[in-house]
Structure 1
Amino acid sequence: MDPALLRERELFKKRALSTPAVEKRQTTSDSGSHKKKKPKLDKESSSGSKHSTESSNGNINIKASSGYKFGCLAKIVNYMKTRHQNGDTHFLTLEEILDETKLLDISMKQKQWLMTEALVNNPKIEVRDGTYGFKPKYNLKDKKALVRLLDKHDQLGLGGVLLDDVEEGLPNAAKAIKALGDQIIFVTRPDKKKVLFYNDKNCQFSVDEEFQKLWRSVPVDSIDEEKIEEYLKKQGISSMQETGPKKVMPVQKRKKQAGQRKRQFKTHNNHLEGVLEDYSDGVPGKK
């Protein structure tokens, strides 16, 4: 073999043996740096678990907030009220309610809250064997039930029933009220809310003018409303103030007296009475 080639071969081996030692030290230092960076990532992931309501980019997770939770509850109650007013009074499971209200993306924690706390303790929701239905103030099936309710209130002296409560508990209330016609009397309160009364036609009779005059001759302007209410209770008659809006008594301002009284001062030196003269009205004239 050519001796020049042999020398180049030996020089190549020497260079090859000298370079790998330096490369190994660099790789070990790089791998160590990668190992040190891993705990930082773990810390960041653990801190993210503490703030579960915030996403990775710092934005608030709306579905995990309490406002979204109570918003879902309000949506469910309004839906149950609407379907009850439309005549769908059969009870539903929670899964059926979530399906019909399109709230299928809520978490298991929120479902548990609805089942154990929110829907159970809501005054407008009735729970029956794991199913849920709407609970109105007056559960009325048809127009006959409405007439019986108004007649009962009239007989017991309880007054009328709010139209809002009737519409809440009677399916297709507008149609039923229209069909009853003159059996119902509407009275509008000062706050624009309507009250329904039973129109008892047996009480419609003519009164002699003599009794009308006697009725109108009794003065009640000087009698306080509390005294009138107290008198009615003694006679076994209940007033209807509970059905109407509460009146706020205005603050009475003190009226200025026409002639201001003179200030009365405490007198001293009573033993000099008859000697001293009063100059409060000016210098007295010469006697």
Structure 2
Amino acid sequence: MNIDFAAVLVVLTGLTGGIWLLDALVLAPRRAALVSSAGKIRSVAEIKLPWYVDLSKSFFPVILAVLVLRSFIVEPFRIPSESMVPTLLKGDFILVNKFTYGLRLPVLNTKVISNSLPRRGDVVVFRYPPDPAVAYIKRAVGLPGDRVAYHGKQLSINGQPVALTPLPNDPTMPAYLQFEEQLGEAKHRIQILADGRWGLAGFWSGLQPRRDPDGTVGWDYQVPPGHYFMMGDNRDNSSDGRVWGPVPEENLIGKAFFIWMNWDCITFNGQCGRIGNSIK
């Protein structure tokens, strides 16, 4: 079951803030009137705060601060899969800038302040189109209006092949070839299976995929207005726009920018050197 933490925070903020306001406007004056009518404090019980008021006053500022921070400034996420290898590893804990693509109201996801839009090459966190309750992370390869093509495992944007520079192979992953990809202003690493296979379970029908002469699956796609085409850096093992289509602008959450922890480091299995790295 997916828990909507934004909704939980909104409910808790409203509940604790409402109790605090109720005490300030109604309950506190009643307690003061009791003390005044007696001419003296008759017992500790008359001035002691009810437990629910005490808890609300303690937790409301904290919950409100977390809600504002998480909704409008920065939000932590954990990488659950290997779809962004080698840029991000399974178990990485990352931070996402919520302001980059404009401020949205929590739960309603209504944009209230516009800012910039994703640039080609950004690592973007967004609400998964088939199930908006789930957050996904991929790289934006196609902007609105772009013609995106993929043939022979070569990505092209608007008829121009994206520059690839071969990199030394990672001995821990001998089945893959790694490259540095120049996508817009972003230089980053990607990997593909060395034997020419692909690990996708299927392709989105909107791509009209076809088998190229080299045996790989190729396609051409025009990104519609207000949408973005996302792909994982682990190109042959990523459920992304090739499987479920483009991402509408209203599904954007923010731009990933920082790795602050890795699960393997917590469990003493290595990867501590990734902590503090920026995401490119």
Considering the TM-score relative to the shorter chain, is it more than 0.5? Answer: no
TM tier relative to shorter chain: under 0.3
TM-score for both structures, normalised by structure 1: 0.25
Normalized per residue, which structure has more helix? 1
TM-score for both structures, normalised by structure 2: 0.25
